[in-house]
Structure 1
């Protein structure tokens, strides 16, 4: 994961619009190009966003599936306040709602890390961010060129996309963060069945846009050239058709790359209709997804400086009937507003002191839960709804590959390590007295077995075993399955054929 640079964060909502709009045409007196690209120059801003989901169940689904859909529909995110500072630092506060429970959170990002804190957490979590230099092993890389590339790509796409059939611009008065503003509302709609024609029209425009295509490739060359040289990847360009052209010959490389790219686009256009027809035949479900029932509606509210001050997006995707996905459709709705554009903004960074480094180790379910107060909303969601502690093991009576159980006098014995580790337990060996301590990952209970002893200690209480713990031919300590599993809060069931299920809720 790399740090998102200043100025490019606002590219994300803009790119959503680039999928359906073209800036080369004026709509209702509004220069759509400027409206779509204006936010690329924003260096500081404050904003808010809400996001919600709505899944429509298919007919005749099970009660279990319906319950899951209701859980999906209960989910929403309200990012009440985002602060983008001109140095690229970002902070956000908001809430996540799930099953009528609301969890406040706050996060921040600087050049070093993303830090997240949530209500009920005993300490924040953080994800360290490598710089481009560190991730590529290159020093002195000019990261500012990345924004130039973002602009080039955006301008190229905007210039060549066709306008959808439903698009309009009107003057409106809207409230943004408590301030009444005169804005231009740009409204557009697109349905799934329009997409193939829009994509084809875009490819045709790209094929003809020699100047824009060449400028884009030239910009990519300027950005990638020092990376290729520093990493030594330039030696491998012979495989891409640049063998006769020195990498430092920008004009030659760009010309070859443009001609190859244009040839690929033209070749695709030649078979576009046939390939699309074949795609519908081999994947008939696509006809549902790319139907009129799939619909994207977007409202942009643009100020006189061509900055998007409000944005409403409503996307509905029609889904084919399937046992694996019992939905008719799923919708995503997003509403956002921005203020203090390019004004003085200071992000509220969260201290990393005492925070949990998410890359340092893979947290077990128990470790994850222990990072939250017991009984807190997040704790309950993780344990009861997401069931991160739940485990199911299956043992065949003749398994000689992994668990290789042994039936002794009607009791099943298994290698301790495999079953304990699969139930997330910790294992400690004491060579002095040949004892093995197993610690439950979730509740912290302990079970102590001793090689050659028919006594085990479960939380300090002695438990008599059928026979002493023994070491098998593979060097593994074997213990009674039921004693071990039940001490780790799991239930053991065996059918009449000797097949064993071990389940921990």
Structure 2
């Protein structure tokens, strides 16, 4: 099962977008699906939850995992989209019996977020593509235009599913009663292959829309190709000798090549689907009648979606690796103040921790939160971010353990850094200082000395610290591991198991 799940995400993505595109009950579904593309500002809220249904005869351990999945929820109580593109969000994440409030702010420069119990905000700069990837000619505004053009093209060619209807309703949105048009659609997993085939057929026939899409992609990509030096001919792209600055010719060639690829796929589509089901029998369950997507879109007179309810249930085949009958996702969203005066709630970057410059260790992550906070307890106790398990064989070719008078010695730096400790050379005292990542304990070793300092307290060891022919300082394995809050066990075959909770 695990080896074959890589195709699941794109299948689910298709399930989510195939919500119909033709006129139903007087409602232009195209406009309903595309109406939000012109929204510049708004306020909204969203709730999200999971529900896993266990398979029969599930073990107590697996049931515990199911309960954890079902305890997860996200409540984004207030999202503010400002007309300049700034976005803020405030909400909470639920897990087990804990609730963790959070806030987030994003502008063109950075994402800043914080959570209850955090000692400072967290900051992640949004570098431009030119800075991050060295891509010249990139225009973010063009990317937005292409996104809109692509969405329009896809929605235009989507077929209607079997179950789709429209009704008039009166519902409250953020406390205001509104007359809305409700579009309800249902899609089962076994409908998907036929819907995809219908979509491909429509794309093949949509010469005008396909050409417009490729023309828009040309306007977006040509400056980037020119800046990178790939602007002389289509031969660089494997499409012939036509010069790239001939837009009309390039668009025509690209359209014909893309249409040919779609038509070729349609010729073998049925056989390919049949072979896929045969080689991957799990698909008969995942894309069967028990997998269902239900979507309600409540649209106002301006074709803006004011409420969305999504319920996706995915049936799962029997498996020891995944002992579930099904897993469901529910999401509910309501939107108000559409294109009104909205100001996103900024979070100051002053004192924030820059995540782009810091590779946080488990200890640094924990120290970013108050020890009594819910996040601290989740990270340490539930997610076990400090947990480490290291196994050293008697003939290990990485640690090269050496036994002297019944004591096992290993290279200090290798084991200490694998336990996230910081190792520094003290040239003044000619000592090696090891600082525990989580608790901050300091262990001091001196080459040639049989005395070790642990938090300032002297401890005798049976043999002095020594350096091997490669320059690695060897120290007693058990003493170092236990000083860094790990336990050490040796089995009957001489394998050493080091565990830090």
TM-score calculated relative to the size of structure 1: 0.94
Partners of 2:180 and 2:300 within 8 A in 1:
yes
Residue segments in structure 1 that go unaligned for 5+ positions in a row: 1-14
Contact 1:18 1:158 in 2 (8 A): no
Residue 501 of structure 1, aligned match among 470, 494, 497 = 497
Are residues 467 and 135 of structure 1, via their aligned partners in 2, closer, same or farther at CA, if it must alter by over 3 Å? closer
Q: Following the alignment from structure 2 to structure 1, what is the Cα–Cα distance between the partners of residues 468 and 350? A: 47
The aligned runs of 1:247-262 (5 Å cut-off) are: 247-262=244-259
Aligned in 2, Cα 1:132/1:482: closer, same or farther, shift over 3 Å?
Answer: closer
* Map of 1:449 onto structure 2: 445
What are the Cα deviations for residues 381-432 of structure 1, in whole angstroms up to 9, with x where unaligned?
A: 0000000000000000011x20111111221111111111110011111233
Matches within 5 A, 1:338-353: 338-353=335-350
Describe the SS at the equivalent of 2:197.
Answer: helix
Does residue 395 of structure 1 match 2:392?
yes
Matched, 1:315 2:307: no
Question: Counterpart of 1:412?
Answer: 408
Q: Is the 8 A contact 1:21 1:163 kept in 2?
A: yes
474, 477, 493: which one aligns with 2:473: 477
CA offset at residue 22 of structure 1? 3.2
Does residue 294 (structure 1) correspond to residue 291 (structure 2)? The answer is yes
**Shift, 1:62, TM fit:** 2.6
Q: Structure 1 residue aligned with 2:119, among 122, 125, 150?
A: 122
Pick closer, same or farther for the CA change 1:17–1:222 going to 2, 3 Å: farther
Structure 2 CA distance for aligned equivalents of residues 370 and 444 of structure 1: 11
Paired residue for 2:110? 113
Q: Does the 8 A contact of 1:172 with 1:183 survive in 2?
A: yes
Q: Distance in 1 between matches of 2:14 and 2:270?
A: 25
Per-residue CA distance 1:9-57 (angstroms, 9 max, x = gap): xxxxxx988722332x211111101111010000000000001111112
The answer to whether structure 1 residue 460 and structure 2 residue 456 are counterparts is yes
Cα deviation code 1:335-383 (max 9, x no counterpart): 0000000000001111111111111021000000000001210000000
Contact 1:22 1:159 in 2 (8 A): no
- Alignment match, 1:228: 225
Partner residue of 2:67 out of 53, 70, 80: 70
Q: 2:363 aligns with which of 353, 362, 366?
A: 366
CA apart distance, 1:233: 3.1
Relative distance call for 1:134 and 1:429 in structure 2 (3 A) is closer
Q: Give me the CA root mean square deviation.
A: 1.6
- Aligned equivalent of 1:22: 20
Give 1:256 deviation, angstroms.
0.7
Aligned to 1:31: 28
1:3 match: none
- Equivalence for 1:9: none
Q: Indicate the residue corresponding to 2:422 in structure 1.
A: 426
Q: Does the 8 Å CA contact 2:82/2:344 hold for their aligned counterparts?
A: yes
Shift in Å at residue 60 of structure 1? 2.5
Once the two structures are overlaid, the 10-residue window that deviates more, 131-140 or 277-286, is 131-140
TM-score (normalised: structure 2) = 0.95
Task: Sort the Cα spacing of 1:397 and 1:154 in 2 relative to 1 into closer, same or farther, 3 A.
Answer: same
- Aligned length in residues: 489
Match of residue 6 from structure 1:
none
Give the direction of change, closer, same or farther, for the CA distance of 1:390–1:69 in structure 2 (3 Å limit): same
Q: Indicate yes or no: 2:213 matched with 1:216.
A: yes
Q: CA deviation at 1:323?
A: 2.4
| Pairing 1:183-202 to 2, within 5 Å after superposition | 183-202=180-199
Partner residue in 1 for 2:95: 98
Query: Larger deviation: 268-277 or 57-66?
Result: 57-66
Please state whether the residue corresponding to 2:231 is helix, strand or coil: helix
Residue equivalent to 1:56: 53
Instruction: Give per-residue Cα distances to partners, 1:58-103, cap 9 Å, x unaligned.
Output: 2233322221221111110100000000000000101111111111
Matches of 1:252 and 1:70 in 2, distance apart? 59
Single out whichever of 125-134 and 442-451 deviates more from structure 2: 125-134
Q: Unaligned regions of 5+ residues in structure 2, if any?
A: 1-12
Between the aligned partners of 2:320 and 2:445, the Cα distance in structure 1 is 46
Q: In 1, are the aligned partners of 2:231 and 2:243 still within 8 Å (CA)?
A: no
Residue 5 of structure 2 is matched in structure 1 by none
Of 133, 153, 158 in structure 1, the residue corresponding to residue 155 of structure 2 is 158
Query: Contact 2:232/2:243 (CA < 8 Å) preserved in 1?
Result: no
Q: Which moved more, 1:150-159 or 1:470-479?
A: 150-159
Q: CA deviation at 1:141?
A: 4.9
Q: Match of 1:144, SS?
A: helix
Three-state SS of the structure 2 residue aligned to 1:492 is strand
- 8 A Cα contact 2:161 2:187, kept in partner: yes
